[in-house]
Amino acid sequence: MGKKKEKLKSEEIKFEEAIGKLELVVNELEDGGLTLDQSIEKFTNGMKLIRFCQQELNQAEQKIEQVIKENDEFKEIVPFAEDE
């Protein structure tokens, strides 16, 4: 049986799907019980999912900034402050 290649193109997977898959990967890694090779494979897939999600979020941010510019309703974009 061949391994399925992880689809991470925006036409093939949605952001919400990627987040769901990432949550599963995290849970599987946290639960333990995987071999070293399985853990590395899960970690690798998780990193691909993270990269995909970051790209999707960056694109969404750019679209929002463009809409704001086009509508000229806001003069300043205030960065989102993360809770620490």
Residues 5-21 have pLDDT tens digits of 455 665 688 999 999 99
pTM score, two decimals? 0.69
15-71: which CATH architecture?
A: Orthogonal Bundle (1.10)
- 16 neighbors 47 (Cβ within 8 angstroms): no
Give the helix ranges, DSSP H, for the chain.
15-31, 36-71
d(CA 57, CA 15): 9
Q: What is the mean pLDDT of each run of 10 residues along the chain (84 residues)?
A: 51 90 96 95 97 95 86 66 65
d(CA 3, CA 59): 30
Q: Give the pLDDT score at 42.
A: 97
